[in-house]
Structure 1
């Protein structure tokens, strides 16, 4: 605790003896007159939250968290998912023979062992598994005596040539080529539907453990005990495998966190040449990360492939704000102030600006909460928590620690010499100061307008959704995408399924009118480019009806006789129980797509939605949508709506915060114009790089705007304060550059360097986010440094209107003026 003291007459300016500890705001007195208590409290909180983070925090992902649950398509799927097994979360495991075709005893025995292992894997919906060895996969044929059928794998299979030949015939009769058997007969597929929870434990499926189980299965069966190739190759695709690979990539991301911290430390040290202050800035930022992770774990949240990036951002934002505080204290110490006095003066000058900037960052994250995708909402909440704790760690704890340790005298003097010297830094200040002149200001504004118009024209080509086949979350050369390419190339039925749910009263799906309408829908979908084929109950009923009449093609139709339809459905339920539910009130019309790119999904949704609107009535409803592609289509629709909504909200919130801070619409325009230009250019960059707007990239613009406004807040707060004292625009901007501007440049580089390390990530969307955020951080910084003086020339010059704007600036401006 510190007892308030009064100034000592005759003491040197800035000395501890002359400083009145009763001065300053109530918050300042509470913090700095109780410095030791602040440090002890922060240390205890760090220990507690660190313990919680290390013991409770986990990495996982949820299939349902990726879905916009309130969207009508998703609600339709969730309401009927128990009736639509296999159209949600499922794995497709392809077992390839590298030594021949599938009709070899060695291959078939390996396939059986693999299926048995998968069958016993926790979380597998065993009743709905499909493979050549599954008893539910059956064949049917018509003979003179009527229907004859059985399981595709002969009951008496013993590996002999006779039973293998029988298997070959059964596969042909069942029509499995292209679905469960590869078109080249060199592989077969095991379809593995998954449950949301493990029924034995009641816990949600651990996708990382499931992915590792598949990897171990692959390793055991692809190589013999002697280390030689076994002649078997295993490919696995599906949401669970994708998420498992992503989570594995997350553990590598920890290395990039360390690299980002190292890069930030080096950059700050090269700027300050002071070990103690650099260490304190980095340490306080790491403390913020510990607090954030502890709070996230304590609230019951998990880290997933999206929210894992939040600690990076929290650390980078913490370093940026810490650097501003450190710079202010360093300059005051260089002018002869005591480290405690310097800490308090810097706290007075920058706390409100820093608080407003952090609130803007929180708003940038918080607006993501309006997006109806739980994984994005979790990211928004965890990020808001992380940025919120920076108020305590970097705006309060850091100045308190620096008030004890200060900075090295050599570093403080070096900082002043750099400002006052006529060397390179002074020439840079002089060059930047020319943007306050009309000719340079006009050139900067015109150039910015050209960039804005050009970027807007390019950004009109921005697409919603995935633009590449496979899993765009992973790199093209990843094992998952190579597996996916193999499956797509060798099977007619892809893993991209779009299902329209036909819902009727009980037994309603057997009615002639319903089957005809479903058949028309299937035909309409088949005409859409990108649809490989369609499957529904009508296909099976038509084939069974023809088979019941000596296979005559004249009977390859949907009969009007209800008894014929009932018989056809009864027979279909034996071989294809997934085509309708037990009381025949729900049946899907499934379209298999060539890919899940945005254009393909848009075409399919338009065709299906148009048909549903025209043909739904009281007797039957056509509901979109199930299947992986159906869920992704709904997600794209939500993302498309949220993109515009998010931009409007984040700019509205930042505008309000800037207006509250500056109390001047002119200053608000000066602050926001660089952000708008950078946002538009970022959209153009996404077009150029072939990156679509999706769940992974949706937060980028909001984060870039929320964090990017920090630069304007720090620069304009000092500039307006100096103008308020009567200085010209050039003088005021020069003071702002020397006090906060050079650190703004340092922060921009530090933030960009920190997130640019994500480009090394094996997870492609993290690499994309790193590139986009680095671009926004750099351009926001450049835009702030160049456009703020240029725009100020036209909007904030010391004329009548500008004088009024400056006079309306809030208390933080006057405080900064008195202490700058």
Structure 2
């Protein structure tokens, strides 16, 4: 079939009074024949969900940020009541810049800070520990036998004698390197936390807790007193504080997108409509989150921007289609219905694909990721109304400026020459850039593009194979290295032998059996193996304490530094042992492993040794279970993330392949759409390796979401390209048509959104900066894949393939014919020809 004859087909009527309102699909008639009801409905929904969105809070839950279904976490939660605050805790170091802690003023300040921390909401008070708590005791061997007491005695009065007594008690307490620094210039208040405020029963408000901690820091920090705070709750608090700055970046992204869209269209009204409808989608999504009882947390804060980005992508396509139809002579109402018919099925397919991409995150057994998946899916759902329905209805009333409509088609011609010459075809593509993209449908350029893509795939696969799971740097990787929190973490590491990175192995025994020789000897063997690992600083356990107790019981003679195979003698240690080493009925031991850091390699080595030992030595008398402590929880999280990553990618690509097949009904179309996405995923992993970014809870969603958003570009370009092929066009002609109708908007939105998220690199939250880099890369790479690699694949996949033409050759609703500069606006994607 000659392409010129196809291009000169009839179009829908340019006048609304000549348009048949009963034509089109049921959805089209439902939307456009009841436009006022649609507007009233959307207004009511906006008011209701807008009010709900105003009540949305920012918070995080400790249990929602850990994989509660993993065996490590199951063991931890099952024994949590017997563990001395090993899950969620704070360490507050109070130091002096001059002198030592053996100073009356310092100890009074420490006491006041201790008391204020004790009264904070959510503190697990029985396990709070400092030099001032009764649980901090000293033990010594005297001529009369074992002696001991509280480190700071009840008769402390601040005199020189009492200060000397405190100094002596500290030396005998075994807390040097634990609660007291080796240089005696600081000490720690250990503050275990509950996940819920016992007064209200509500989840602990980490934002408020962080603000209260900062108030304490401000109140007591002076010229000679410095305060350092570390712990999960403080990380989350700092993230929540940083989240407030995210709003600035969101506003900046909206401003950039609006400016670029206006520069492209020169139509303020339509640009504002696209922005407004996308923001309405974000508003509805936030309102629904509040309605369903969710909060925004540090990890789901990117979802509103992703919803906005998807909304801009789809809204700009609708606006561009309407603008071009009006430029070809149609009335706004007719142009909007025509664009709705042509792009609605493609938009629905793209949004459903996005929703599947988000929904696969539900397989990850971490609460915040599942909430992110739900939030993103809700956002995609509301975009079907706000951008595929509300925006076209508003455009049917408001339209676009005549000057902008004329500009959109000023370079178009009625069609190609009858001889199908490239000279006349290229006239419809103004600018060198668009002519450059069109070259990739030619064999030489297509082969070059595929060769380069293959080389990039090999390079990306080799580099990406070194991608690691978990944190690659010490400190809190969510925050920048020079943040106050990471400086506090560095202070702790420099001054305390007991690291804040704690891995705990639990040993379950029968009641009153935790100090039996057969149990403690295995514990000693385990700690010996762990201490030989390069990432382990030290260990602490009942076995270690019992060995030193034997020395004390025998006049301090270190020849007795050994476990004695006598259960009665070992059991006597219970009376003086700290409660964090065993529970009340002596049925659970806690084996502490203090790590140099929480890097993935360190955690992997400890888990491997501990799991192997547990498998070989667990029996009816003693069962070794992993794991508690912040590092134990992080190790479980890394295991879940590693397993979920491949599973998630298989599922998201499976969903994309199925939906592309449903949309295009040809395996060639599926290959052309999916291969560019796969290349982007491979290159993204290589980029993460080069930037030193490990796969973590915060980054994992970006990998899946990039695929979901990227497929939108391929669907819009490929749908028009296939439609052109079905009308008998060559691949080059069909691709040039796709560039005019949807390709330019793909490039516009891809570049604009990449610039918008690139501003995140200035965020104080490091993982948000990482997200910005990765998303910007994926936006750009997916855009280039749709504009370069897709047509190159199409040249080889469709170059000699004849596709079945549409069944119908006239548009529903058509009363008479008119010229169509795109040649295919007269053949919108309706039920009759939607296979394109």
User: What TM-score, normalized by structure 2, do the two folds share?
Assistant: 0.93
Distance 1:232 1:517 in 2: 44
What corresponds to 1:453 in structure 2? 458
What's 1:615 paired with? 617
Equivalent residue number for residue 425 of structure 1: 430
Selected match of 1:498 from 471, 495, 503: 503
1:753 aligned residue: 755
- C-alpha contact 1:140 1:147 (8 A) present in aligned 2: yes
**What's 1:262 paired with?**
255
C-alpha distance in structure 2 between counterparts of 1:557 and 1:12, whole Å: 94
- For residues 12 and 385 of structure 2, the distance between their equivalents in structure 1, rounded to whole angstroms, comes to 32
Counterpart contact for 2:100–2:186, Cα < 8 Å? yes
Aligned to 2:534, the other structure's residue is in SS state: coil
Secondary structure, aligned partner of 1:818: coil
Paired positions, count: 797
Q: Deviations over 1:267-322 (max 9, x none)?
A: 11111110100010000011101110110000001110011111111111101110
The C-alpha deviation readout for 1:398-421, integer Å capped at 9, x for no partner, is 000000000000001111125569
Corresponding residue of 2:472: 467
Gaps of 5+ in 1: 1-9, 224-228
Whole-Å separation in 2 of the counterparts to 1:195 and 1:427: 63
Pairing partner for 1:653 from 636, 655, 660: 655
Rounded to whole Å, the distance in 1 between the matches of 2:513 and 2:102 is 42
Counterpart Cα distance in 2 of 1:712 and 1:205: 44
Correspondence list, 1:290-329, <5 A: 290-329=283-322
Matched, 1:45 2:45: yes
**Distance between the aligned counterparts of 1:355 and 1:474, measured in 2?**
38
Alignment pair present for 1:540 and 2:540: no
- Residue 753 of structure 1: how far off its partner (Å): 2.1
Is 2:446 the partner of 1:441? yes
Structure 1 counterpart of 2:734: 732
Comparing 603-612 with 13-22, which one deviates more in the overlay?
Answer: 13-22
**Structure-2 separation of matches of 1:296 and 1:265:** 26
Residues 103-126 of structure 1 deviation map (CA, whole Å, 9 limit, x = unaligned): 111111111111111111111111
Name the structure 1 match of 2:419.
none
Q: For 1:509, what is the secondary structure of its paired residue? A: coil
Name the SS of the counterpart of 1:92 in structure 2.
Answer: strand
1:746-768 deviation per Cα after TM superposition (whole angstroms, max 9, x unaligned):
11112212222322221111110
The answer for the alignment partner of 2:390 in structure 1 is 397
Counterpart Cα distance in 1 of 2:697 and 2:514: 36
For 1:182-233, what per-residue CA distance to the aligned partner results, in whole angstroms no more than 9, with x for missing partners?
121111111001112222222221111111111011111114xxxxx2x100
Q: Which moved more, 1:434-443 or 1:327-336?
A: 434-443
Q: Which residue of 2 aligns with 1:378?
A: 371
Asked if 1 retains the 8 angstrom alpha-carbon contact of 2:725 and 2:803, the reply is no
Hey, what does 1:115 align to over in structure 2?
A: 114
Structure 2 counterpart of 1:27: 27
2:357 is the alignment partner of 1:364: yes
Does residue 794 (structure 1) correspond to residue 833 (structure 2)? The answer is no
Q: Does residue 641 in structure 1 map to residue 643 in structure 2?
A: yes
Q: Which aligned pairs between 1:125-524 and structure 2 lie closer than 5 A?
A: 125-223=124-222, 229=223, 231-419=224-412, 425-524=430-529
2: CA distance between counterparts of 1:815 and 1:262? 34
Q: Distance in 1 between matches of 2:204 and 2:594?
A: 27
* Distance change >3 Å, CA 371–CA 814, structure 1 → 2: farther
Which sits farther off after the overlay, 398-407 or 253-262? 253-262
Distance in 2 of aligned mates of 1:805 and 1:439: 27
Question: For the structure 1 residues 353 and 109, does the alpha-carbon distance in structure 2 shift closer, same or farther, using more than 3 Å as the test?
Answer: same
Contact 1:320 1:751 in 2 (8 A): no
SS of corresponding position for 1:503 = strand
Cα deviation for residue 382 of structure 1 reads 0.4
For the structure 1 residues 247 and 547, does the alpha-carbon distance in structure 2 shift closer, same or farther, using more than 3 Å as the test? same
Deviation (angstroms), 1:150:
0.5
Secondary structure class of the residue paired with 1:237: strand
Partner of 2:564: 559
Give deviations 1:233-287, integer Å, cap 9, x for gaps.
0000000111011001111111111111111111111111101000100000111
The 1-side partners of 2:32 and 2:793 are apart by: 38
SS at match of 2:230: strand
Question: What CA distance in whole angstroms lies between the structure 2 residues aligned with 1:268 and 1:145?
Answer: 86
Query: Alpha-carbon deviations, 1:534-592, whole Å to 9, x = none?
Result: 000111111112211112222221111221011122221xxx11110011111111100
Q: Does 1:94 align with 2:93?
A: yes
Residue 808 of structure 1 and its aligned partner are, at CA, apart by 12
For 1:704-733, what per-residue CA distance to the aligned partner results, in whole angstroms no more than 9, with x for missing partners?
111101111001110110110111111111
Map of 1:82 onto structure 2:
81
Deviation larger for 417-426 or 485-494: 417-426
Distance 1:472 1:646 in 2: 23
Write the mapping of 1:800-815 to structure 2, written as runs, cut at 5 A.
802-804=801-803
* Cα distance in 1 between the residues matched to 2:755 and 2:329: 34
In 2, Cα distance between equivalents of 1:456 and 1:467: 20
Work out the CA distance in 2 between the residues paired with 1:330 and 1:173. 82
Deviation at 1:155, TM superposition (A): 2.0
Supply the distance in 1 between the matched residues of 2:13 and 2:346 (Cα, whole angstroms). Answer: 25
Quick one: structure 1 residues 521 and 115, their matched pair in 2 at CA, closer, same or farther if it must change by over 3 Å? same
Q: Partners in 1 of 2:748 and 2:660 — Cα distance?
A: 22
- DSSP-derived class of the 2:620 partner: coil
8 Å CA contact 2:761, 2:773 repeated in 1: yes
Alpha-carbon distance in structure 2 between the residues aligned to 1:397 and 1:319: 14
Instruction: For 1:97 and 1:12, locate their aligned partners in 2 and report how far apart those are by CA, in whole Å.
Output: 82
User: How far 1:503 sits from its partner (Å)?
Assistant: 0.4
Shift of 1:22: 1.2
Matches of 2:684 and 2:144 in 1, distance apart?
A: 70
| 2:65 aligned with 1:66 | yes
Per the alignment, in what secondary structure is the counterpart of residue 737 of structure 1? helix
Q: CA deviation at 1:424?
A: 8.3
The alignment's TM-score, normalised by the length of structure 1, stands at 0.95
Name 1:3's counterpart in structure 2.
Answer: none
Q: Assess, with a 3 A threshold, how the Cα gap between structure 1 residues 569 and 815 changes in structure 2: closer, same or farther.
A: farther
DSSP-derived class of the 1:501 partner: strand
SS at 1:123 equivalent: coil
Cα deviation for residue 136 of structure 1 reads 1.1
Structure 2: where are the runs of 5+ without partners?
1-9, 414-425, 813-821, 830-836
* 2:412–2:428 contact (8 Å) kept in structure 1: no
Q: Is the 8 A contact 2:253 2:753 kept in 1?
A: no
User: Aligned partners of 2:627, 2:612: CA distance in 1, in Å?
Assistant: 13
Give the CA deviation at 1:11. 12
